[in-house]
Chain A
């Protein structure tokens, strides 16, 4: 080192090793939260439902719309685990195929909405003009309770699984757009962002290198929450007859049929309802464990 000329008064500086050196402590990541405690339970629940759905065609003894001669409104039994409906169809098989409809909604529509919302939020929130416009638009979209939006869009597109998907995408865009906006607003004020802006980093650099990586965790938590909401929306829309068109099954439409036949086949709704609760509960537990891990 060069000779040090310090301004007076001369201060004796203690020499020694690099000062106060804390041992590297790594915080357990989000992944850790997923394979322990609550997160693990959630993962198992969701995993089980996904497995049932994916393997549905192999596990199902009958086709989803196959009518079994002589099996009218049977209760649960060895031939038909969950019984049959008024059109002689095997409820267990229909439930397995119904899961597939919900999986499409949960694992396709929600991510699509999330990605669109994130991109929209990232791009618009940097400049104040676009930010105001986008936020007003998001406000307007959020102004409609989910179901009203669903009903409105069904009026255009007609009932069907695609409509449910579109409704969920439309619901999630403002949710993720707002979340990202909050992240942008917080992160861009951070000293480390200012430090890179001072040396010449542009918006694209800051958004890509700092904002997005730092908002991934809250986005992951929201993704799990939104997926559970999507199960609800599918259920509610099918319950109101706005979802998948008969004779095709979905969890929501099966529950609806179960309600209709409540007095003739009281156990009808139990199967699909259990699956819905397992799926939602699993996703909720995952989101809870993730957000707890984030805060720790």
Chain B
């Protein structure tokens, strides 16, 4: 297990470093020069050069990269070119909002998925299966921005019971009840496709587990079906569901860009959008790298949890070959 952990950690680090080089290079290839953006159309060559030197853009590529990496490690992200203020604090503010939103959606989606799929499998009722299947298809077929819109139209415009957008005025902790009201609509819109995907997967996985011979063994012992589902099938379906959850987390981050746009939610999604459109290198670089780091960490976490949940991996220090 320890060996496994180290090998996973190594490859995660490798992907991150490669990605950081790739991102740094890519951003420099993007057409449009930040210097001209900053200096404005009437700038003299001298003032352009001064800006260029100040930003460190006159140094060779590798020197710039190493310098940037050093800054990253010291968490000194420097000033933003265009959006104003310090990149670090811009991102920190946005990150808090996005993390709260996505985690809320993740919890909604996974709790809802576990509830729906176990209910369907334990109940074993035809109508329940059909209902869930229809709900599921609908949730997947309607785009996130459309769901978000409908939610706003119904719950904020037609029946104004919930706020139409923005973040809770006093922060998330001051008034949890108010914060919840602000979170509910964007969270729901974000969670819906993930819920659908997770439910579909988990239901399928539970049905597959119920066809396994160990379930027949348990049934032959007189253990009730409901108990088999809850204590055995679910536990067996968990590791692979964790992997799917990891993938869904990535999808949620992508969806957050749309939901943040509809709900005027000042998170990282909005920042990415603004950063790209205003060619603000430092912001975009860090954001892209952040998304890679989040992805790598999610993968790492799901792999480790997956391995931990499976005693065949956890307790086996030796890698077994195909023993015939």
Contacts and interface: CB of A to CB of B under 8 A. Distances in A.
Interface of A: 136, 139-140, 142-148, 151-152, 154-156, 158, 228, 231-232, 235-236, 239-240, 255, 259, 262, 269, 273, 276-277, 280-281, 284-285, 288
Interface stretch (B109-117, B249-257, B306-314): B249-257
Interface of B: 14-15, 18-19, 22, 26, 29-31, 137, 140-146, 149, 153, 250-251, 253-255, 257-258, 261-262, 272-273, 276, 279, 284, 288, 291-292, 295-296, 299
Contacts of B295: 142-144
B29 to A, nearest CB: 7
Contacts of A228: 141
A235 B292 contact: no
B30 A145 contact: no
A154 B276 contact: yes
A141 B37 CA distance: 30
A54 B14 CA distance: 48
Given A259-B149, A269-B149, A240 B258 contact: yes
11 contacts: A143-B15, A146-B254, A151-B257, A152-B26, A231-B143, A240-B257, A255-B146, A269-B149, A280-B142, A281-B141, A284-B140
A152 B29 contact: no
A145 B29 contact: no
B250 A145 contact: yes
A139 B15 contact: yes
B30 A140 contact: no
A95 to B, nearest CB: 15
Contacts of B262: 259
A162 B14 CA distance: 33
Tell me whether chain A's interface is mostly helix, strand or loop, or mixed.
Answer: helix
A235 B19 contact: no
Contacts of B18: 136, 140
Given A143-B291, A145-B254, A145-B291, A236 B143 contact: yes
Contacts of B141: 228, 277, 280-281, 284
A155 B257 contact: no
Given A139-B15, A151-B257, 9 more contacts: A139-B299, A143-B291, A148-B288, A231-B143, A239-B261, A255-B146, A259-B145, A276-B143, A284-B141
Contacts of A284: 137, 140-141
A156 B29 contact: yes
B185 to A, nearest CB: 15
A140 B22 contact: yes
Given A280-B141, A281-B141, A145 B258 contact: no
B291 A155 contact: no
B291 A236 contact: no
Nearest to A239: B145
Nearest to B29: A156
A143 B254 contact: no
